[in-house]
Amino acid sequence: MRAFERTIADLENAEDGAAFGSGMGTISATVLHLVSSGDHIVSGRTVYGCTHSLLKGLMRRMGVEVTFVDSRSINKIREALQPNTRVIYSETPRIQRWTWSTWTPWGN
């Protein structure tokens, strides 16, 4: 596994890499690494069901506030930001409804 991670990191000109056995493993490890009690997450409303459970359940039990918004609108995301926001989470395409978030943080 470590050889695979190093190979991918080399291909991406990255310092290091991490590989996971599932998408939820990746999402969980990343979010848990980035937030702690008292932090805030802005998430799209239409995310994978297990991701929604992670954010609504575990994160809230850990003392992390989560605000769900329509992530197709950069204005809705901006309105939800707080001084303690550490993560903006969105999935695209969002399989449940086949909609896309097309904003860029630097765009309109």
Beta strands in the chain (DSSP E): 40-44, 65-69, 85-89
Mean pLDDT of 46-71: 94
Residue 94 lies in a domain: yes
Mean pLDDT of 32-59: 95
Q: What is the mean pLDDT of the chain?
A: 89
Give the pLDDT band (50/70/90) at residue 37.
very high
Cβ–Cβ under 8 Å, residues 67 and 41: yes
**CA dist., res. 71 & res. 17, Å (int):** 28
Residue 4 lies in a domain: no
Residue 3 lies in a domain: no
Mean pLDDT of 67-74: 92
Number of domains in the chain: 1
Residue 70 lies in a domain: yes
Q: Which two tokens stand for residue 25?
A: 């493993």
Q: Is the pLDDT of residue 96 over 60?
A: no
Mean pLDDT of 12-22: 93
Q: What residue numbers bound the domain in which 31 lies?
A: 23-100
Residue 28 lies in a domain: yes
Q: pTM score, two decimals?
A: 0.79
Mean pLDDT of 71-86: 95
Which CATH number characterizes residue 45's domain?
3.40.640.10
Residue 87: name the closest of 50, 32, 25 by CA: 32
Residue 51 lies in a domain: yes
The pLDDT value recorded for residue 95 is 55
Residue 88 lies in a domain: yes
Residue 106 lies in a domain: no
